[in-house]
Amino acid sequence: MNVIDNIFKIMAQKGIKQRTLADAMGIDESQISVMKRGNRDLKISEVENIASCLGVSITDLFTWPERYVLEQSAGAKGLTTPKVILQLELEDSDVKADVIKLAFGDRVLEIKNK
């Protein structure tokens, strides 16, 4: 797993130019080449900006081409909302519900007990 390689694979797949990525990161375009060669570390804020620019989650940058934040249609406007899949292997369904409530608060969730 190489995050830098994944970033450039996603850029190529989506047709995103180095200039666009540099602007999103707030750095000079020449630093993109330095980053590509592995001679520049990324700051956390830059990773967030990269993910936003590429239209993927931070997790996806690490796991590409696997995607762990899936998108589902949010209606006729063509908008998408992230869908997170959380798998818990707990015997007690009450404990599972408590863990999910702790993690996500009062948000509406679909809980599937298998």
Res 80: pLDDT: 57
Percent of the chain with pLDDT over 90: 34
> Is the pLDDT at 59 greater than 90, yes or no?
no
- Per the DSSP assignment, residues forming a β-bridge with 70 are 83
CA–CA dist 107, 113 (Å, integer): 18
* Number of independent structural domains in the chain: 1
Distance CA 4, CA 91 (A): 39
Quote the pTM value.
Answer: 0.57
112 falls within a domain: no
CA geometry: angle at 68 spanning 86 and 1, to 5°? 125
Indicate whether 94 belongs to any domain.
no
pLDDT tens digits, one per residue of 4-51: 999 999 999 999 999 999 999 999 999 999 999 989 888 888 889 999
Instruction: Name the helix (H) or strand (E) containing 72.
Output: strand 69-73
Range of the domain at 66: 3-73
Q: Which CATH number belongs to the domain containing residue 69 in this structure?
A: 1.10.260.40
Does residue 91 lie within any of the structural domains? Answer: no
Whether residue 37 is contained in a domain is answered as yes
Cα(93)–Cα(85) distance, rounded to whole angstroms? 17
* Rounded-to-integer distance, Cα 15 and Cα 6, Å: 14
Within-domain flag for 110: no
Is 31 within a domain?
yes
